[in-house]
Amino acid sequence: MSDIFDFQTGTAPLLISIPHLGHRIPDSQQPLMTELGCRSGDTDWHLDRLYAFAQAMGASVLAARYSRYVVDLNRPPNDENLYPGQAKTGLCPTHTFDGQALYRDGRQDITAAERAARRDRYWQPYHDQLQAELDRLQAVHGRVLLWEAHSIASVIPRLFDGKLPDLNIGTAGGASASAAIEQAIAAELAGSPYSYAINGRFKGGYITRHYGNPAKHIHAVQLEMCQSTYMDEQFPYAWHDTEARRVTAVVQQLVNAAYRALP
């Protein structure tokens, strides 16, 4: 049992990763942070509940316990910018998505030593487990679908213009998953009541880009969905049962379509 993540072993060649589900802030970090920082507002709230269907599919599920304000598990270990020319949300953030300070002293950066310590303590164990489970599933099944589950507020002017489409699929521009999988997802999206984009503003973060390798039969897909489709985007981030049931059915169809299309 790990303090860093929750993990459920499945039987199908399907791994659902939820790297931004966690909202814990270490005791040592809390006194340094603003009220906003301690609240962990940019968490991907409730996705464990939304993806509860995964167990019936036989999926393995890996979910973070600690906040992305501690370390962002979906950023490269060297902290390079995944979207050059656009606002960066780094490995160890100092500001919220909309630019508000996370630390009482208004710091603009985390020291190299502190960044390395957080990377070793929180980032590396998650990625070790992710790689181990991909290896296990591939050894058993010969192929794997890695589904990266994310959600975000629908309007964040610092990160994107206007309102984000409801459902945003990323396959690193087609590099992280087969064309058949992307086409199967597109067909489901076209029949859904939600607005959507494929490889638009969100093309997939570090996990999708790093682990997705169709040539080696590992296919990675990221879904970044608007939180407005299932919850209140303002504190205390309440779950909306009716809306959530509606969008969960569509998300399940997307995962099923991608899974059925595994080469």
Mean pLDDT by 10 residues, the chain (263 residues): 94 98 97 97 98 98 98 94 76 96 96 97 98 98 98 96 97 98 98 97 97 98 98 97 98 98 93
- CA separation, residue 141 to residues 83, 122, 126, 160, 217 (Å): 34, 29, 22, 39, 10
Structure tokens, 228: 């407005």
CA pair distance 188, 256, nearest whole angstrom: 10
Residue 97 sits at φ, ψ, to 5 deg, of -55, -35
pLDDT given for residue 79 in this prediction: 87
149-198 pLDDT tens trace = 999 999 999 999 999 999 999 999 999 999 999 999 999 999 999 999 99
Rg of the chain over Cα atoms, rounded to whole angstroms, equals: 18
CA pair distance 201, 166, nearest whole angstrom: 12
Alpha helices in 22-147 (DSSP H): 35-39, 47-50, 54-57, 112-118, 124-141
Q: Which domains, from first to last, does the chain contain?
A: 5-261 (3.40.630.40)
CA pair distance 83, 91, nearest whole angstrom: 13
pLDDT given for residue 87 in this prediction: 67
pLDDT given for residue 184 in this prediction: 98
